[in-house]
Amino acid sequence: MILRSAATFISFIVCTALFAYSSDSTKVIDETGYIYPTCDSLGVPLFVDGIQVGVSPLRHPVPVLAGFHEIGYAPPEIRNEYVKSRLHHAIKKVYVPIGDTVNVALSFDHEYTQFKALRTEHKITQYIGMMMAVAALYLFWLIS
């Protein structure tokens, strides 16, 4: 797992470095900045613009082009809309200025506990709905 995340991080660095050079490969484009995501939990995968850059804690800032970026720990392949709507704090949008390092603090532990509570609440709501439907059917049976 560590080897895979290290390979992913190295390939991300290489791709970013390739974009940081102009077409004639002699001048470095000065439009790069850095993102340094931190998290309150260890071993949480971190994503920058949908690309996994490693797991927390990262040792070095991630080089990116200046502009707006999405940083988070929610994988981009989440398709369930209920889960996506509840994890809106899992992804932060930040602006990275040229030549600057932006520190982004993510709180995974709080979100994970909140997500577990919402999941339990959703299950309880489903059970209550089923019990109400059974009670309504029983009342209709008694009336007829």
pLDDT tens for 89-98 read 778 889 999 8
Average pLDDT, integer, range 96-107:
87
DSSP assignments along 67-101, one per residue: EEEEEESS-TT---HHHHHHTTTSEEEEEE-TT-E
In this prediction, residue 22 carries a pLDDT of 45
In this prediction, residue 128 carries a pLDDT of 94
Share of the chain above pLDDT 90, in %: 18
Average pLDDT, integer, range 38-66:
87
Confidence of residue 28 (pLDDT cuts 50, 70, 90): low
Say if strands 45-48 and 67-72 run parallel, antiparallel, or are unpaired. antiparallel
Q: Is the pLDDT of residue 16 over 80?
A: no
In this prediction, residue 107 carries a pLDDT of 78
Confidence of residue 108 (pLDDT cuts 50, 70, 90): confident
Does 57 sit behind a cis peptide bond, omega within 30 degrees of 0 on the bond before it? yes
SS3 48: strand
